[in-house]
Homo-oligomer: A and B are copies of this chain.
Amino acid sequence: MNEPSPQHHTLYERLRERGWRMTAQRRVVAQALAGEHVHMTADEVFRAAQADLPELSLATVYNTLNDLVAMGEVREVAYARGPTRYDPNAVTPHDHLVCVVCGEIRDISTAPGVTLDDDARQGFEVLGAEVVYRGRCPACRAA
């Protein structure tokens, strides 16, 4: 459960390599999260995964997503109101564009040079930084 996770593998493969106890439920959840710029809600993951495994329950989706977050394989993105979204691309650092109208979230490459000096840190142990750009997405600008 503690081996490294090379980023060129799929989420499913990385989980297998970690020695994570694999079940049909966890497999279909991992497969539902496949893709590079995905930010699904728990319910969207549930629906997609349920297509492969009808007996899957929403509670298990939540359990699995929470485990994946705790493992660092998936990032929670909770910038907009509404349900939490899950970003499976936790390996490659990147920032987000968030639409203030519809909540749409898009990936964007990380802004360079965002670091803090000791003084600014206020005693925090900083584990990561991320830029959130808020604005209106193309669809909402048009509407």
Contact = CB atoms under 8 A, between A and B. Distances in A.
A122 interface: yes
Nearest to A107: B122
A133 B129 CA distance: 4
A55 interface: no
A51 interface: no
Contacts of A124: 97, 99, 106, 133, 135-138
Copies in the complex: 2
A124 B100 CA distance: 10
Q: Considering the complex of A and B, which 9 residue pairs feature the smallest CB-CB distances, nearest first?
A: A123-B138, A126-B135, A124-B135, A125-B136, A127-B135, A129-B133, A125-B135, A128-B134, A130-B132
Interface in A49-66: none
Interface of A: 76, 78-81, 84, 97, 99-100, 106, 108-109, 111, 113-114, 116, 120-138, 141
A22 B78 CA distance: 33
Contacts of A133: 116, 124, 126, 128-129
A133 B134 CA distance: 16
27 contacts: A76-B81, A78-B78, A78-B79, A79-B79, A81-B84, A97-B121, A97-B122, A97-B124, A97-B126, A99-B124, A106-B124, A108-B116, A109-B120, A114-B131, A116-B133, A122-B138, A123-B137, A123-B138, A124-B133, A125-B135, A126-B135, A127-B136, A128-B133, A129-B134, A130-B131, A130-B134, A131-B131
